[in-house]
């Protein structure tokens, strides 16, 4: 197969095919996931919590992200590589230009940024300069201290309508993918129908165009707790590659996430 691109993911959305995404942080796991047929891998700033033992993603640096992006890119042949822009690495357009360049040169195919309307000018400027952007709405972990913890977002009608509007703004600014995290399933569906770009959900219901999980959760090796929206696929298979193949299959068939994994 040829390298998976954002154009391929857009075609999948148009044809009603589900997109499967997972995090990875090194070449070995990335190669297993790539060979299993995963559509996209995210080098998440979640590495601060699952690799570095931090309480949140705030301490992660651009150097951390570039290092792990380089590692993952070495293990991938076909899968789309998405890399997180970490905390305060895109507070200004100038910072965004410099730091997004570092991730692209490390092997990312697209960079991910958390936030809504305030990012519009930065996103437009990055896209104009040839850097693809993935958006992220809902629970934005880099803002956890402002949000007051890891909480479901968009339950109030005004907040839900605001998030739909922000999703449209991000699309107009040039975002090519959109991650939706920890929002009610109905809102996940509404946003997915309101935009033409693919939506990737994590705790956003089954009606997003795709799903993403932290690999440690999907393999049942998280050292803290299993989030409500996650499922241990390794326990069903006893083999890492087969676990990821099962994850892809369950997403494709619409079996994951199930009713027990969604927020209302």
Q: Binding site membership: which residues?
A: 45-46, 84, 112, 114
* Residues facing residue 199 across a β-bridge: 178
Nearest to 29 by CA among 60, 80, 74: 74
State the CB neighbour count (10 A cutoff) for residue 165: 14
Report residue 84 as tokens.
């997180």
Q: Is 240 helix (H, G, I), strand (E, B) or coil?
A: helix
List Cα–Cα distances, 199 to 80, 101, 212, in angstroms: 15, 24, 10
Going by the annotation, the residues of the binding site for 3-methyl-2-oxobutanoate are 45-46, 84, 112
d(CA 93, CA 98): 9
Residue that is written with structure tokens 């891998």 in the block: 41
* Residues facing residue 202 across a β-bridge: 181
The residues assigned a catalytic role are: 181
In 182-264, which ranges are E strands? 199-202, 210-213
Q: Is 263 helix (H, G, I), strand (E, B) or coil?
A: coil
User: Ramachandran region of residue 84, left (φ > 0), alpha (ψ -120 to 50) or beta?
Assistant: beta
């Amino acid at each position: 197969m040829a390298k998976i691109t954002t154009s391929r993911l857009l075609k999948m959305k148009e044809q009603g095919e589900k997109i499967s995404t997972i995090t990875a942080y090194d070449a070995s796991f990335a190669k297993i996931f790539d060979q299993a047929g995963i559509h996209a891998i995210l080098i998440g700033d979640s590495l601060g919590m699952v690799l570095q033992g931090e309480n949140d993603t705030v301490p992660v640096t651009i150097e951390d992200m570039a290092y792990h992006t380089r590692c993952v890119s070495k293990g991938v042949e076909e899968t789309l590589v998405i890399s997180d822009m970490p905390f305060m690495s895109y507070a200004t357009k100038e910072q965004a230009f410099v730091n997004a360049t570092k991730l692209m040169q490390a092997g990312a195919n697209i960079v991910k940024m958390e936030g809504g309307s305030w990012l519009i000018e930065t996103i437009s400027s990055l896209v104009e300069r040839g850097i693809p952007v993935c958006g992220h709405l809902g629970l934005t972990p880099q803002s956890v201290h402002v949000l007051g913890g890891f909480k479901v977002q968009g339950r109030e009608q005004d907040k839900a309508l605001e998030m739909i509007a922000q999703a449209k703004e991000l699309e107009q600014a040039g975002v090519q993918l959109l991650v939706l995290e920890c929002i009610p399933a109905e809102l996940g569906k509404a946003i997915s129908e309101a935009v033409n770009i693919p939506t990737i959900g994590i705790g956003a219901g089954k009606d997003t165009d795709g799903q993403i999980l932290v690999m440690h959760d999907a393999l049942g090796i998280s050292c803290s707790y299993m989030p409500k929206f996650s499922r241990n696929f390794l326990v069903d298979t006893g083999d890492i590659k087969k676990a990821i193949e099962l994850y892809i299959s369950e997403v494709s068939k619409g079996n994951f996430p199930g009713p027990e994994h969604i927020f209302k």
